[in-house]
């Protein structure tokens, strides 16, 4: 109350200033309205005058066009008459007596020569000063156009000197005459443009306007109308379209711009009347606006209350002393207390007793302004039944209508459900991780069982062969050498099985495999002994297609063990695909080519029946197989290994002309050029099988 009564003058001065500004604005608006009214009145009168001129121009142009059409009809009557001198002259004279705008009518033969001519009886002959033949160019052009168009054509206007020392602006119309379907001549009528204006335009228009025909550049050709010159303020122009040309009619009003003085009193009276009416309207609108504002304020309050009641977020208002002044239903439902139990209660009943001192210190710091506004923090509240629950509180200054802070407004979110969901998600994540570890163990077991089949089968074959040799009797030196070689092969395959277990273990754990630079032919040499064992069982011939000298053998960067397993899988599938083919067609081709500087391409080509379309769509799908004893993991794992190297594995069925069968190919990254320059040279060509060498 003290703060409101200490200095009451500033609001009063502001109110007086607003009143002065409103009255100043009202007076200014009245002056603007009167000025605008006078201006609009003048513009309206100008618009009306221009509209009258436009209307007169349109009416005059229409009258001229109708008059010209009537003249053409009269000329057509002359065209139907026989060109006998007495009779034709009589009819032409009657035409000229009835049409004062015509000054001459001519009958011309088919060559355009004037045969008969009759001048108007109201004026001297028009071509008395200058013969007709000297100024016949425009008429001749019109007759030529009329002959082409088979209809009347108007010529351009031209100047004809007169005996009075003046001149006449004339215009011809030429109409062709046909007899029996052939051209017989022309009827030519000459107009006086000035007579055309004075004889065809109504007298009422002529009294108030100056009419003239003008050229395209604005040159006046003929004039008629009021003796007073046009003021040039209200002007209208119309084009009269004629066959072969056009006339441009200009109508210039003799009235000037509207004067201000005769209309000023009326404008002032109307302006004052409108100003008074406007003041009344403004007062009515002001009362209406006040009522509308009051209704809008009530609706806004009701809307705000409905919105606050529908929120699931708790709202809490506190004054500068920390006492609660407002809570919404969501906050009461959150803590379990009624508004009467919360308002004007300090400390709040929803503070846990064990945290009351800490909360009091934090509230004092926040109310002092040390904490930044709109800074959310998490805390714990207590329900009426004693249950503790976590909440997140966002606070902002509460500013009154005068711009002074009166307290703090808080938005409170109950995050207990969110915390329970996070805990549940954590437990589920732990279960998923355990399940993933079990799946990894299963995947590793499947890979080991699939990849160890080949080295174990090779060990079994070498061991069985050695036992059979020992059972035949005391071994001779050659038999001992064979047994020693078989035992070495057993050791190699056992070591290979160990490498497979290690590589598969790293592959399943998605670790980065150890990469090394290997010559492409050495990868083939490593798998050829196992390939030969299976090839001998089915009678398959193996061909190597490698680069020949002087082209260097490509080198690749790869996990040698895993790539060898890919080659074994592909060659085994190729040999099995040719089991049903005749023995002569069982040819397995292993090809190595450099695709470009970055990639080396390996191909495994068989001559089997090819891959059916329905099988090709699922060929690389895990656990899909067409073999009764297969697991369906071979091609899927091969593609995974190649893709881990950055390459791609694909296949295509070959054309019968190329031998048929299927070609599986994959790419591996080639050795970098810099490393290739520093690498040792490859073995001589004699140590490498030739491209067409057969291995049985």
pLDDT tens profile 225-242:
766 676 777 888 888 888
Res 522 pLDDT > 80 = yes
Q: For the whole prediction, is pTM greater than 0.85? A: no
Res 40 pLDDT > 90 = no
DSSP 507-540: HHTTPPPPPEEEEHHHHHHHHHHHHHHHHHHHT-
Question: Percentage of residues in the chain with pLDDT exceeding 90?
Answer: 9
Q: For residues 468 and 472, what is the distance between their CA atoms, to the nearest angstrom?
A: 7
Residues 6+ positions from 48 with CB-CB distance below 8 Å: none
Note the pLDDT tens digit of each residue in 420-429: 888 888 887 7
State which H helix or E strand residue 169 sits in. Answer: strand 167-179
Res 473 pLDDT > 80 = no
Q: How many residues does the chain have?
A: 696
Check the CA dihedral 627-631-634-636 and report its sign. Answer: positive
pLDDT band per the 50, 70, 90 thresholds, residue 556: very high
Note the pLDDT tens digit of each residue in 587-603: 999 999 998 889 999 99
Residues 6+ positions from 408 with CB-CB distance below 8 Å: 317, 318, 366, 367, 395, 396, 397, 398
**Looking at residues 276-298, what average pLDDT do you find?**
77
Find the range with the poorest average confidence among 75-79, 123-127, 330-334, 529-533.
75-79
Spatial contact of 83 and 93, defined as CB atoms under 8 Å apart: no
Q: For residues 409 and 393, what is the distance between their CA atoms, to the nearest angstrom?
A: 10
Fold observed for domain 515-695: Heat Shock Protein 90 (3.30.565)
The CA distances from residue 491 to 47, 457, 471, 478, 494, in Å, are: 115, 13, 21, 20, 5
Res 493 pLDDT > 80 = no
Kindly report the CATH number that applies to the domain delimited by 51-253. 3.30.450.20
Neighbours of 486 (CB within 10 A): 19
Mean pLDDT (the chain, rounded): 78
Residues 6+ positions from 562 with CB-CB distance below 8 Å: 503, 507, 513, 641
Among 342-356, 502-516, 658-672, which range has the highest average pLDDT? Answer: 658-672
Res 440 pLDDT > 70 = no
Evaluate whether the domain defined by 313-414 bears CATH number 3.30.450.20. Answer: yes
pLDDT band per the 50, 70, 90 thresholds, residue 605: very high
Res 559 pLDDT > 80 = yes
DSSP 270-328: HHHHHHHHHHHHHHHHHHHHHHHHHHHHHHHHHHHHHHHHH-SSEEEEEETTS-EEEE-
Find the range with the poorest average confidence among 9-13, 468-472, 530-534, 668-672.
9-13
Q: For residues 340 and 330, what is the distance between their CA atoms, to the nearest angstrom?
A: 15
User: CA angle, 394 as apex, 389 and 400 as ends, to 5°?
Assistant: 130
The token duo for 201 is 């335009």
Neighbours of 526 (CB within 10 A): 18
SS3 at position 452? coil
Which phi and psi (to 5°) does residue 143 adopt? -65, -40
Domain parsing of the chain, residue ranges: 15-48+270-306, 51-253, 313-414, 420-511, 515-695
Tell me whether strands 587-594 and 541-545 are parallel, antiparallel or unpaired: parallel
Which phi and psi (to 5°) does residue 167 adopt? -145, 175
Among 41-50, 56-65, 256-265, which range has the highest average pLDDT? Answer: 56-65
The pLDDT score that the predictor gives to residue 682 is: 39
Q: Tell me if domain 313-414 and domain 420-511 are identical in fold.
A: no
Q: Is the peptide bond before 550 cis (omega within 30 degrees of 0)?
A: yes
Residues 6+ positions from 283 with CB-CB distance below 8 Å: none
Note the pLDDT tens digit of each residue in 624-653: 676 655 555 678 778 888 888 889 999 998
* Domain 420-511, CATH class in plain words: mainly alpha
The CA distances from residue 342 to 187, 336, 381, 382, 406, in Å, are: 114, 10, 13, 13, 19
């Amino acid at each position: 109350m003290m703060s409101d009564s200490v200095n009451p003058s500033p609001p009063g001065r502001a109110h007086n200033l607003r009143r002065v500004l409103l009255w100043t604005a009202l007076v200014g608006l009245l002056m603007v309205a009167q000025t605008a009214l006078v201006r609009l009145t003048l513009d309206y009168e100008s618009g009306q005058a221009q509209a009258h001129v436009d209307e007169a121009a349109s009416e005059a142009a229409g009258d001229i066009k109708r008059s010209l059409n009537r003249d053409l009809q009269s000329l057509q009557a002359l065209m139907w008459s026989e060109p006998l001198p007495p009779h034709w002259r009589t009819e032409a004279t009657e035409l000229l007596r009835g049409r004062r705008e015509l000054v001459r009518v001519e009958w011309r033969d088919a060559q355009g020569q004037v045969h008969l001519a009759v001048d108007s009886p109201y004026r001297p002959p028009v071509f008395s000063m200058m013969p007709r033949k000297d100024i016949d160019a425009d008429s001749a052009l019109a007759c030529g156009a009329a002959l082409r168009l088979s209809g009347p054509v108007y010529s351009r206007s031209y100047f004809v000197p007169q005996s009075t020392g003046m001149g006449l602006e004339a215009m011809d119309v030429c109409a062709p005459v046909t007899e029996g379907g052939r051209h017989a001549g022309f009827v030519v009528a000459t107009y006086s443009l000035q007579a055309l204006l004075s004889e065809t335009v109504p007298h009422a228009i002529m009294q108030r306007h100056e009419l003239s025909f003008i050229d395209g550049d604005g040159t006046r050709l003929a004039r008629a109308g009021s003796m007073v010159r046009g003021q040039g303020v209200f002007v209208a122009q119309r084009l009269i379209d004629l066959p072969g040309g056009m006339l441009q009619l200009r109508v210039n009003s003799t009235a000037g711009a509207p004067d201000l003085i005769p209309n000023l009193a009326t404008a002032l009276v109307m302006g004052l009347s409108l100003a008074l009416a406007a003041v009344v309207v403004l007062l009515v609108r002001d009362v209406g606006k006040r009522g509308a504002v009051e209704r809008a304020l009530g609706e806004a309050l009701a809307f705000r209350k409905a919105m606050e009641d529908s929120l699931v977020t708790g709202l809490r208002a506190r004054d500068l002393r920390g006492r609660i002044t407002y809570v919404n239903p969501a906050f009461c439902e959150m803590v379990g207390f009624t508004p009467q139990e919360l308002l004007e209660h300090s400390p709040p009943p929803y503070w846990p007793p064990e945290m009351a001192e800490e909360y009091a210190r934090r509230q004092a710091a926040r109310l002092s302004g040390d904490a930044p506004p709109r800074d959310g923090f998490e805390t714990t509240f207590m329900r009426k039944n004693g249950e503790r629950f976590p909440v997140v509180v966002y606070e902002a200054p509460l500013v009154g209508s005068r711009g002074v802070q009166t307290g703090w407004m808080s938005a409170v979110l109950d995050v207990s459900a969110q915390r329970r969901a996070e805990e549940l998600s954590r437990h589920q994540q732990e279960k998923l991780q355990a399940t993933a570890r079990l799946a990894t163990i299963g995947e590793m077991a499947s890979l080991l069982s699939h990849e160890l089949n080949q080295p174990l089968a090779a060990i079994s074959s070498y061991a069985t062969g050695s036992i059979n040799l020992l059972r035949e009797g005391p071994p001779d030196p050659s038999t001992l050498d064979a047994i020693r070689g078989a035992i070495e092969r057993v050791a190699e395959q056992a070591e290979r099985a160990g490498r497979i277990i290690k590589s598969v273990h790293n592959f399943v754990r998605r670790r980065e495999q150890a990469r090394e630079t290997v010559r492409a032919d050495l990868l083939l040499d490593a798998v050829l002994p196992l390939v030969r064992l299976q090839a001998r069982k089915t009678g398959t011939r193996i061909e190597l297609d490698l680069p020949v000298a002087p082209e260097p053998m490509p080198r690749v960067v790869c996990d040698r063990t895993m790539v060898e397993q890919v080659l074994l899988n592909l060659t085994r599938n190729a040999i099995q695909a040719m089991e049903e083919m005749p023995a002569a067609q069982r040819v397995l081709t292993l090809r190595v080519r450099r695709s470009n500087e970055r990639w080396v391409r390996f191909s495994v080509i068989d001559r089997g029946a090819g891959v059916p379309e329905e099988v090709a769509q699922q060929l690389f799908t895990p656990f899909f197989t067409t073999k009764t004893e297969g697991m369906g993991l071979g091609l899927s794992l091969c593609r995974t290994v190649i893709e881990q190297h950055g390459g791609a594995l694909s296949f295509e069925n070959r054309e019968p002309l190329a031998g048929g069968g299927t070609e599986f190919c994959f790419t591996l990254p080639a050795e970098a050029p810099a490393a290739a320059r520093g690498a040792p040279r490859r073995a001589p060509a004699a140590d490498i099988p030739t491209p067409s060498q057969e291995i049985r």
